[in-house]
């Protein structure tokens, strides 16, 4: 218990930074994932190629390697001055967007083709059909897998500790190195912090699933 009471401020900061990193990365992943899913079902060949390439590259790239590419590659391209926190948001958001894209695309495939054809027959454009007819139904189906991806994202934030981001993983290293506490006690408290985050995400998506469930 002394680990928590003696370093409550550090635990609070690490916990809040982890939550902030998770939320911002999730928002970026959802926006990018939805956009890339639209590209993958677009009638424009160039957009389909771009979407396929995005998903293929990011799904088959280790997250640590993507962190290295962002933190070392962007400054090398002249994009300097980015805080390590925002670089972590970019890496996590882009990585997760590839999986979000596939979850949404799977949901799109569950929508009967006849609905899209009916929308086009009354003069709706592709973007109108996708945004007003297909996506609202596809997202209902995609909520459970997206929830699982958000939980994975929250756990993946631990990788950011290796890139100078002050979150829970970095706190574990600091306490173990500087204070000499029992490593198992440190892991226990940090694991509980991650459980709080993942349980909150799980509860939120269960609520969304029940609210948006299709009546049968």
- 87 pLDDT exceeds 80? yes
Q: What is the pLDDT of residue 146?
A: 92
What are 147-189's pLDDT values in tens digits? Answer: 999 999 998 888 887 766 666 665 666 665 555 556 667 777 7
What are 9-30's pLDDT values in tens digits? Answer: 666 777 888 889 999 999 999 9
* Predicted TM-score of the model (pTM): 0.84
Average pLDDT, the chain: 82
Answer positive or negative: Cα dihedral of 23, 27, 30, 36: negative
Give DSSP secondary structure letters for 145-201.
Answer: HHHHHHHHHHHHGGGGGGGT--SHHHHHHHHHHHT---HHHHHHHHHHHHHHHHHHH
133/151 Cα distance (integer angstroms)? 28
| pLDDT cut 70: percent of the chain above it | 80
Residues found in the chain: 216
160/21 Cα distance (integer angstroms)? 9
Residues 6+ apart with CB under 8 A from 32: 93, 94, 97, 100, 101
């Amino acid at each position: 218990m002394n680990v928590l009471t003696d370093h409550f401020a550090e635990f609070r900061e690490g916990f809040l930074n982890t939550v902030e990193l998770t939320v911002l990365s999730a928002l970026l992943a959802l926006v990018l994932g939805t956009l890339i899913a639209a590209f993958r079902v677009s009638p424009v060949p160039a957009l389909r190629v771009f979407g396929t390439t995005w998903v293929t590259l990011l799904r088959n790239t280790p997250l640590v390697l993507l962190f290295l590419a962002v933190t070392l590659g962007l400054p090398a391209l002249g994009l300097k001055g980015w805080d390590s926190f925002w670089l972590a948001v970019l890496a996590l958001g882009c990585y997760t967007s590839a999986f979000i894209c596939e979850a949404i695309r799977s949901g799109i495939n569950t929508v009967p083709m006849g609905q899209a054809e009916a929308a086009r027959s009354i003069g709706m454009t592709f973007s109108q059909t996708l945004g007003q007819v297909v996506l609202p139904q596809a997202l209902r189906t995609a909520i459970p897998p997206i929830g699982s991806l958000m939980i994975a994202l929250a756990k993946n934030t631990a990788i950011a500790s290796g890139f100078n981001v002050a979150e829970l993983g970095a706190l574990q290293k600091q306490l173990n190195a500087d204070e000499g506490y029992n490593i198992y006690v440190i892991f226990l408290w940090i694991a509980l912090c991650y459980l709080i985050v993942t349980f909150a995400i799980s509860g939120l998506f269960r609520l969304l699933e029940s609210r948006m469930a299709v009546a049968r």
